[in-house]
Chain A
């Protein structure tokens, strides 16, 4: 059976992984939310389901992370 090369920060076998590692690139928080605004009807639904609207509020820089990021979308009143 063949092997993969052991890359410095990657796993060394072909087994036991399902989830991809996508995040080596810093995508930018604002850009991630912006693509929901600009991504057509499907994007707007996601935008209003999240707290993305705060993107355009002047005081969003000061929001508490826990308040914005850890409240499940279905529990917000924005959907």
Chain B
């Protein structure tokens, strides 16, 4: 990373766009270096009557001003596990958008504003969105328009509208462009009768038109608007309008093949045995970070949530994760973070130099990985070589609870319906599994499960 950070630390590779404020890490703490402007913005935020309430309600990351080595800087509370908008479900992005609008409205009412409106300023602690970019707050100066409006549309509003009205998944679009979805692209998804949906004509069609029309303009519009008396009321009018639009934007997904997974016969009969096996391992000692890969309805994440600090429940089916999120939001537990991700194509490093947004594996090493009823999807469904999958698991350096699902299993056979045996890697056998485990993992325990087999694996040094 360019330049050295204070306290012998390193700048966060995702924090460089705002010249007034940069996050850095030192001695396991998260700090923020500020320029003079950045410090003025922080002081304005700290003096706001809303600041303490924002932090105590969990809507704004806990922050304190400190002086170290004669330098004034901020120290932030740590976020247990980093996630990105292209890994969130519809309801997660929607709640993040509403949080942004709520904070902007309350900020404007106390003489502050937000410099930008990127969805990367929001993280999730469990199923609760939290605003992390303290450096975004600054004093509102009369005459300044809302500079983040277009960005808010690209990164929050358009993905939601596209999912809600065109039933197109926004995650691949956001992963493909960290800047979000351009108005012109959103317009293509939201044509014909969809134009009549709330927000489409005003914020998509008109915005696409405005961008196209003004593309070549060299007008100093900011000065023009300021001279014409632009004020916070105009921004508040837009914020309230957008909040109404987003509240009324709902997604009614079609039937997912996984939505009634828990009622399948084999799931119902095996679940109790698996839960006992997992609980015994998780309860043996407290762990910081657990990954539940192929989490489905997050049954096992919830079951062991009391035994660890943070659980990341990952599944490729957005509808299922959206349901899990809403359940967690309502009933807890508060330390389970649900994410949408295809594990055969997990989030890579993205953005500037491929470092701006880290890959899954770079965001914190798990102590325990649950991989229950997933291996057949990855090896048969996605044609990953079994050896490669085990090698990847071993690279995580964590204990693993692994469920072997043989080729003869009913669920494997379903995946084989349109495949010949020769089209699946020949190493998909329990014998090959054991050979691949040998040398990488010690088998601490194993249990037969109606043709399947549960393993408790410990990585070998």
Collect the chain A residues with CB atoms within 8 Å of residue B210's CB: 28, 30-31, 33-34, 55
Q: Chain A 21-58 against B: per-residue CB contact (8 Å), 1 yes, 0 no?
A: 11111011111111111111111011001110001110
Q: A10–B19 Cα gap in the complex (Å)? A: 6
Q: Are A46 and B234 in contact (CB under 8 A)?
A: yes
Within 8 Å of chain A (Cβ to Cβ): is B36? yes
Q: A42–B232 Cα gap in the complex (Å)? A: 9
Q: Are B224 and A50 in contact (CB under 8 A)?
A: yes
Q: Chain B 28-57 against A: per-residue CB contact (8 Å), 1 yes, 0 no?
A: 000001111111110000000000000000
Q: Are A69 and B224 in contact (CB under 8 A)?
A: yes
Q: Are A25 and B39 in contact (CB under 8 A)?
A: no
Q: Are A35 and B220 in contact (CB under 8 A)?
A: no
Contact of B219 among A28, A29, A35 (CB under 8 A): A29
Within 8 Å of chain A (Cβ to Cβ): is B428? no
Q: Are A10 and B38 in contact (CB under 8 A)?
A: yes
Q: A24–B16 Cα gap in the complex (Å)? A: 11
Q: Chain B 194-222 against A: per-residue CB contact (8 Å), 1 yes, 0 no?
A: 00000000110011011111111111111
Within 8 Å of chain A (Cβ to Cβ): is B367? no
Collect the chain A residues with CB atoms within 8 Å of residue B202's CB: 38
Number of residues from B at the complex interface, CB < 8 A: 70
Using known A-B contacts A25-B147, A61-B213, A73-B228, determine if residue A7 contacts B237 with beta carbons closer than 8 Å.
no
Using known A-B contacts A13-B36, A29-B217, A33-B221, determine if residue A5 contacts B234 with beta carbons closer than 8 Å.
no
Within 8 Å of chain A (Cβ to Cβ): is B20? yes
Interface centre among B19, B73, B225, B241 (most CB of A within 10 A): B225
Within 8 Å of chain A (Cβ to Cβ): is B144? yes
Q: Are A2 and B225 in contact (CB under 8 A)?
A: no
Using known A-B contacts A5-B33, A10-B37, A17-B36, determine if residue A55 contacts B20 with beta carbons closer than 8 Å.
no
Q: Are A69 and B229 in contact (CB under 8 A)?
A: no
Collect the chain A residues with CB atoms within 8 Å of residue B225's CB: 32-33, 36, 46, 50
B interface vs A, CB < 8 Å? 2-3, 6, 17-22, 33-41, 67, 70-73, 115-116, 138-139, 141, 144-151, 153, 202-203, 206-207, 209-225, 227-231, 233-238, 241
What are 6 of the A-B contact pairs (CB < 8 Å)?
A3-B72, A24-B116, A32-B222, A39-B233, A45-B229, A62-B216
